[in-house]
Amino acid sequence: MRVNLGEQLQKLREEKKMSREELAGEMNVSRQAVYKWENNKGYPDIENLIKLSELYNVMLDELIKGDQSFQSKIAIDRKKSEDFSDPGFVVGIILVFAGLFLDLGKFSAGVTILGFLTMFFYEDLMRTFWSIKRVFQEGR
């Protein structure tokens, strides 16, 4: 019999003799987030899945194998390294050209550097932004 992710997470937490509040504290999430995971009203992100697998001492694939609906929601990023349609590349190249070709005085070098940084670190910036946003939303 296949067990869905929520049931499995609840079973593993109970085997560890942890309350939802204790698990939430350990995971650095809200008690409501744990409730949603265990009742299949939401899914943990990949970072939290990894933490859960380490906390419960189970393999990551053991957690997700039984839940077909969760497996279908997992998006695998198959980004090409030469993808010039990436928003970070586009925004970065615009900033580089603005810094190089517009007369911005003292700001030209800064805008050019910002453009290069955006091109190379856009995904990291966005990941950080969304993490901070998630923390603020869970804190409400």
Q: Is the pLDDT higher at 57 or at 88?
A: 57
Which of 36-45, 49-58, 72-81 is predicted with the least confidence, judged by mean pLDDT?
72-81
Q: State the pTM of this model.
A: 0.50
Nearest residue to 21 via CA among 34, 7, 12: 34
Residue ranges and CATH numbers for the domains of the chain are: 5-73 (1.10.260.40), 87-135 (no CATH)
Look-up of token digits 């050019």: 112
What would the pLDDT profile of 94-130 be if each residue is shown by its tens digit?
A: 999 998 999 888 889 999 998 888 888 888 888 888 8
What are the residue ranges of helices labelled H in the chain?
5-15, 20-27, 31-38, 46-56, 60-64, 68-73, 87-101, 107-138
